């Protein structure tokens, strides 16, 4: 019996963080809204029950946009853009603080809803998943509509889905009809639906590769598909050139990865202003302890212990330093993590102001594989 043809879906939540915020503040629907900037004030509840929101024009700092509504994107305010630059394009846009705990809550909700329809899921992040539909009896269109409705019922949010024979094409297709899109493509559709798109639409072609391709006169996927393999190999090397050629023809043999162990769990924060190791010691100590506590909470929530604790520092000259410490036994205890991270910190000369501080737990072990280290720290800790 021949194997069933693969049917792989890619589901991408629509403007996920912004959409979650619109559930909380429905009066902002249809308005340009930007999420980001670190410690922005929460909307102020007024005596009449209405809310006063911060505006992008009033922002001062070097924060960046985490995400934005489609209305804000129409004004040029996209994720990753500096908020000060975005304020020049959309000064009247509403500015909201980031709420990662809320986003993770809705992430768990939508993934659980999808699993009730199609349980073979590859988790790709907080707002996107791949779904294997191959062995399900319904046709792809029916399944996609059921999945979209399940997500809507569970969260009140919309998503976009692309379905094709592989992950590469499905990832491209989920972005073609946003928001609330549904796109089905098979290999016969590649010349008409995929080739006219810019080459950078292929995941794996980053800005530098796209720039090199453009210099060679290759800007669309069709032009990439027609490019001589020898030309690609000359400029990109044998392995990447072979992948470019295959990807342009819609070929992707990667399997679904439905079970995977995380390699590390980390938390970090970029400061609104550079902090001095001595003058801002109290603030840095509070942030450092909070990061360790959040890492410990993540470990416990996900059911892991960590054997290696590390820190990440970025100074005001953008130099980044990391340090790691391997413990005698695995732990998810916040005090033990704080102590280990503090030991790492002692190994870094703190002579410049800091712009970023992070804590990472790696060498992970499932919690039922080893007893936790519940030792507590004693004495003064760095920062």
**One-character DSSP codes across 159-187:** EEEEEESSHHHHHHHTTTT-SS-EEE--G
Cβ(129)–Cβ(12) below 8 Å = no
CA-nearest of 373, 365, 314 to 338 is: 373
For residue 254 the two structure tokens come to 């990667």
Is 128 a catalytic site residue? yes
10 Å Cβ neighbour count for 26? 9
- Residue pair 40/58 in contact (Cβ under 8 Å)? The answer is no
Residue 36: strand pairing partners: 65
List the catalytic residue out of 21, 71, 122, 128: 128
CA dihedral 144, 148, 153, 158 (to 10 degrees): 180
For residues 370 and 56, give the distance between their C-alpha atoms in angstroms, rounded to a whole number: 49
Residue among 378, 295, 362 at smallest CA distance from 324: 362
For the chain, where are the alpha helices, taking DSSP H only? 16-24, 70-74, 83-89, 100-115, 140-155, 167-173, 207-215, 221-226, 229-236, 238-248, 281-302, 334-346
Which has the closest alpha carbon to 120: 284, 4, 27?
Answer: 4
State the first-to-last Cα distance of the chain, in angstroms, to the nearest integer: 65
The SS3 of residue 77 is coil
Choose among 60, 31, 27: nearest CA to 46: 27
Residue matched to tokens 């069709």: 222
Residue 165 tokens, joined = 């024979």
Residues 34 and 266: beta-carbon distance below 8 Å: no
- What DSSP state is assigned to residue 42? P
Residues recognised as catalytic:
128
């Amino acid at each position: 019996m021949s194997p069933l043809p693969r049917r792989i879906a890619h589901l991408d939540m629509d403007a996920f963080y912004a959409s979650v915020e619109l559930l909380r503040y429905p009066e902002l629907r249809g308005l340009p809204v930007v999420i980001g900037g670190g410690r922005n004030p929460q909307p102020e509840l007024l005596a009449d029950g209405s809310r006063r929101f911060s505006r992008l024009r009033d922002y001062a700092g070097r924060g960046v946009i985490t995400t934005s509504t489609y209305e804000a994107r129409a004004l040029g305010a996209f994720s990753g853009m500096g908020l000060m630059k975005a304020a020049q394009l959309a000064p009247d846009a509403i500015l909201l603080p980031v709420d990662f705990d809320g986003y993770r809550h809705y992430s768990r909700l939508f993934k659980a809803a999808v699993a009730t329809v199609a349980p073979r899921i590859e988790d790709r992040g907080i707002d996107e998943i791949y779904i294997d539909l191959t062995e399900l009896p319904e046709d792809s269109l029916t399944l996609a509509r059921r999945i979209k409705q399940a997500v809507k019922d569970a969260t009140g949010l919309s998503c976009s889905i692309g379905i094709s024979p592989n992950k590469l094409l499905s990832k491209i297709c989920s972005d073609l009809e946003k928001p609330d899109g549904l796109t089905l493509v098979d290999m016969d559709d590649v010349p008409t639906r995929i080739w006219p798109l810019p080459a950078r639409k292929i995941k794996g072609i980053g800005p530098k590769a796209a720039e090199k391709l453009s210099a060679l006169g290759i800007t669309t996927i069709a032009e990439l598909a027609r490019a001589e393999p020898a030309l690609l190999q000359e400029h990109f090397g044998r392995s990447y050139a072979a992948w470019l050629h295959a990807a342009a023809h819609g070929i992707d043999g990667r399997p679904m990865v439905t079970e995977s162990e995380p390699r590390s769990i980390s938390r970090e924060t970029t400061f609104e202003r550079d902090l001095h190791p001595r003058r801002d010691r109290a603030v840095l100590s509070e942030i450092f302890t909070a990061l360790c506590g959040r890492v410990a909470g993540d470990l416990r929530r996900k059911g892991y212990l960590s054997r290696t604790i590390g820190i990440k520092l970025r100074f005001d000259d953008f130099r980044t330093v990391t340090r790691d410490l391997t413990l005698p036994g695995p732990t998810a205890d916040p005090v033990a993590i704080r102590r280990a991270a503090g030991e790492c910190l002692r190994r870094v000369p703190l002579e410049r102001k800091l712009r970023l501080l992070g804590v990472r737990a790696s060498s992970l072990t499932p919690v039922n594989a080893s007893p936790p280290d519940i030792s507590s720290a004693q004495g003064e800790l760095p920062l």
